[in-house]
Amino acid sequence: MFTGREFSQESIGAYYAFIRKNNLEDTYEVRTAFNRGWYLGAQFAMHASAELSPHIARFIEFMMWLTERETPEDV
Every domain of the chain and the residues it spans? 4-68
Statement: the pTM of the whole predicted model exceeds 0.85: no
DSSP state of 26: -
* CB-based contact 6:13 (threshold 8 Å): no
pLDDT at 27: 92
pLDDT digits (tens, 9 = 90+) for 9-60: 888 888 999 999 999 999 999 999 998 888 888 888 888 888 888 888 888 8
